[in-house]
Amino acid sequence: MHDESTATDTGLEAEQRVVDTLYGRLDTLRDEAQARLGDIRRQGPSGSPQNRSERDAFATLYEDRIAQLDAVEDRLCFGRLDMTDGETLYVGRIGLSDAEHAPLLTDWRAPAARAFYSATAAEPGGVMNRRHLTTRGRLVTAVEDDVLDVEALRTAGREGTLAGEGALLAALDARRTGRMGDIVATIQAEQDAVIRAPMEGALVVQGGPGTGKTAVALHRAAFLLYHHRERLASRGVLLIGPSRQFLRYIDHVLPSLGETGAVSTTLAGLVKNVTITGVESDATARIKGRSDMAAVIKKAVRERQRVPLTDQTVRLDGRPVVIRRSDIRDAQARARRDGRPHNEARASFAKDMIGRLTGQLAEQLEHVEADDRRELEREVRDSRPIRIAINLCWLPITPEQLLRDLFSKSHLLDDAASTLSRAERDLLLRPASAPFTDADVPLLDEAAELLGDMPSGAPRRDASELTSEEVEYAKEVLETFGSHTMIQVDAETLASRMREGTARLSVAERASADRTWTYGHVVVDEAQELSPMAWRMLSRRCPTRSFTIVGDVAQTSSAAGTRWWPEAMDPLFGGTWALRELTVSYRIPAQVAQTAQSFAKAAGLPVSELSAAREVADAVAYHRVDPSSLVSSAIRRATHRVATLAESGGGLVAIVAPEQIHDALQEELGDARVEIIGALASKGLEYDAVVVVEPAAIASRAGDLYVALTRPTRHLDIVHSEPLPRGMGA
């Protein structure tokens, strides 16, 4: 395919020529997109609103395209496949073709690139040689060959530099930067099978610490966005992570894979305008996570549709109107009939009641013309006592207020949660001023679903409601502009972007602004932490039930989380979900894996088998110290690691310790470059070296200690004054 690289080329120079061509093409595409964007911007804000909206839509698409081309700059090309049939193809972050549409670079997600990840010597699948290209900036610094079909190679007269797993091990040994990198150059076969699994249904990926679940989940999102562009372009992909810190850690992986159409957030991030600062007991969180809380919230909303104890008479211009309980009951039943949420159905109830009361007035008069009737109706509507009476029977309410009232007023809780025991209800009670907690998030969302928008809320529109005219018009615009081959946009996407007010919003932006948005696919990381109520909340966001769920049931720390996948998945997906396991840890050295596994087994955690991809000499060290010197010893170990890592290019060091000693550690640490973190917060993160302090204190939740022990890529120091938990020790 590349004339420059002859069949006998094995050296860097030939590869450098190919890589130069690829970057040259990338620069050209970027310049073209910049020029077009410049043209559009130069046209300025003039023209009809229609013209402006077309221009805005195209400007956004070119901006996205430029961002995509910028994001693939680093390691644009990382592999080459030589096939037994003589074909050669280069594999990279995105696909590139030359000006005559001849392919130059194959996107890693394209079917043709699959062999780069899945071919083995036992099953070469037509691959003679797989070559890893290592680059720094635009410079090729190394090539390594992985010969899969020696016979074919000999016949072709080529002898490669046999390199085996060098590229993977080099990637694993690289120092950590505090931000997750992509693994696109070294995806392993068991990971590749998960990344490329079909999109339909739910795929659960169980794997021990460091087996690449997060990496695989992100690459799968990029793979699905690439392969199901039509379906996912308009609906987007939702990615749920455990914390803001975690999202920052992973946030540039997707763009660097060439994808910008995903919304990454936490569960709490899906519920707008609510600050979560409260903490509560495990027992309370467990109750709130149970699926029977859905019925409690439903009942609490229903209780807001009240019927007074007696009929009430109001006088209008001296004439009596009776607000009858029977009318209220009847009007409420009718308003509920079409299934709209509480706040939205309220208008029907109020209208019905006003009609009935107007009827009563009209009956007291003779000959009421239509105009008179309208006048009477206005009088009824404007009457303050009537407005108050109607409001009391069906009060609009926000989810936050509903929950605040429910958990602070025991009579409301008794009514709504009569299925819960007295003791359980007592656990739920708290002052009205108490801050919201993580376990409240799915309850707030459940309430928001049943309550709907407050009366002033603007009606929502989304892409699925696009009219056929809008789509037709977008097609015409595409034809007129004639430039869509470059930005590959479909008419639907363009139409939804051209719609007034959304022209400059991407799918991700519109989706994250709309609580009721439904996504094309949902990826959940650290999924073992989710309660049944949290799963309910997520399943609402993907009615097609297309999920990638990654987690480790041995690392569960949330009281309402799961320790057994079928328990969480069966109620949601019935028998249609599939389980895959990842078994090799790419993060932790063998000795760390052995230490963590031994503790986890002794603590009865449901650990899966785990082997480590590499060995690091003396990876684990125990330090027994006096209680009075616990803090200073931990600091000494950590700063020693910082110093020794600095000799080999630096690295990240963390102290994972019980929260009670964080302040003392911070004080003694000064400004040394060491992160102090709790076991829970360290979930999903990784460091070159980790000092775990007082494991016995962390082990009150065994899953938390298991998480803490499995964060380092190179060194684990354990500093303790109390006896070690069972399963640990030199």
Ligand X SMILES: Nc1ncnc2c1ncn2[C@@H]1O[C@H](COP(=O)(O)OP(=O)(O)OP(=O)(O)O)[C@@H](O)[C@H]1O
Site residues, ligand X (CB under 6 A): 168, 171-172, 181, 183, 186-188, 191, 207, 209-215, 552, 586-587, 684, 686, 710
Closest distance to ligand X from the beta carbon of 445 (Å)? 25
DSSP string, 546-609: -EEEEE-TTS--STTS-SSHHHHHHHHHTT--EEEEE-EESSS-HHHHHHHHHHHHHTT--PPP
Closest distance to ligand X from the beta carbon of 117 (Å)? 9
Residue with tokens 């959940």: 524
Residue with tokens 């993977």: 168
If the CB atoms of residues 244 and 315 are measured against ligand X, the closer one turns out to be 244
Closest distance to ligand X from the beta carbon of 237 (Å)? 17
DSSP 272: T
Closest distance to ligand X from the beta carbon of 94 (Å)? 19
If the CB atoms of residues 398 and 608 are measured against ligand X, the closer one turns out to be 608
- Binding residues, by number, are 207-214
By Cβ distance, which residue is nearest to ligand X? 212
Both tokens of 104, joined, read 């130059």
* Contact indicator for 557, 703 with CB cutoff of 8 Å: yes
* Integer Cα distance of 688 and 641 in angstroms: 9
Both tokens of 541, joined, read 């966001």
Residue 74 to residues 89, 126, 259, 449, Cα–Cα distance (Å): 19, 29, 15, 43
Residue 632 to residues 543, 549, 640, 667, Cα–Cα distance (Å): 54, 41, 12, 10
Closest distance to ligand X from the beta carbon of 587 (Å)? 4
CA 237 to chain centroid, in Å, comes to: 8
If the CB atoms of residues 191 and 502 are measured against ligand X, the closer one turns out to be 191
Give the number of other Cβ atoms within 10 Å of residue 376's Cβ.
Answer: 23
Closest distance to ligand X from the beta carbon of 460 (Å)? 35
Closest distance to ligand X from the beta carbon of 288 (Å)? 25
Long-range Cβ contacts of 361-366 (<8 Å, 24+ apart): 361/316, 361/319, 361/321, 364/319
If the CB atoms of residues 436 and 706 are measured against ligand X, the closer one turns out to be 706
Closest distance to ligand X from the beta carbon of 584 (Å)? 8
Closest distance to ligand X from the beta carbon of 243 (Å)? 12
* Integer Cα distance of 691 and 621 in angstroms: 9
Output b/e per residue, 499-528; b: 16+ Cβ within 10 A: beebbebbbbebbbeebebbbbbbbbbbbb
Closest distance to ligand X from the beta carbon of 33 (Å)? 30
- Helices vs. strands in the chain: H and E counts, helices first: 31, 21
Q: Report CA torsion sign: 42, 45, 46, 50.
A: positive
* Integer Cα distance of 212 and 181 in angstroms: 11
If the CB atoms of residues 169 and 664 are measured against ligand X, the closer one turns out to be 169
Alpha helices by DSSP H, listed for 383-439, are 384-393, 399-408, 410-416, 422-428
* Contact indicator for 592, 716 with CB cutoff of 8 Å: yes
- Binding residues for ATP, by number, are 207-214
Phi–psi pair at 554, nearest 5 degrees: -85, -15
Closest distance to ligand X from the beta carbon of 614 (Å)? 11
User: Residue type at 13?
Assistant: E
If the CB atoms of residues 209 and 442 are measured against ligand X, the closer one turns out to be 209
Both tokens of 547, joined, read 């999920």
Output b/e per residue, 411-439; b: 16+ Cβ within 10 A: ebbeebbeebeeebbebbeeeeeeebbbb
Nearest to 443 by CA among 557, 294, 563, 249: 294
If the CB atoms of residues 78 and 535 are measured against ligand X, the closer one turns out to be 78
Alpha helices by DSSP H, listed for 228-310, are 229-235, 244-250, 253-256, 282-289, 293-302
If the CB atoms of residues 684 and 725 are measured against ligand X, the closer one turns out to be 684
CB hemisphere CA count around 151 (13 angstroms): 4
Closest distance to ligand X from the beta carbon of 253 (Å)? 9
Nearest to 638 by CA among 667, 686, 676: 676
In sequence order, the 6+-apart residues with CB closer than 8 A to the CB of 100 are none
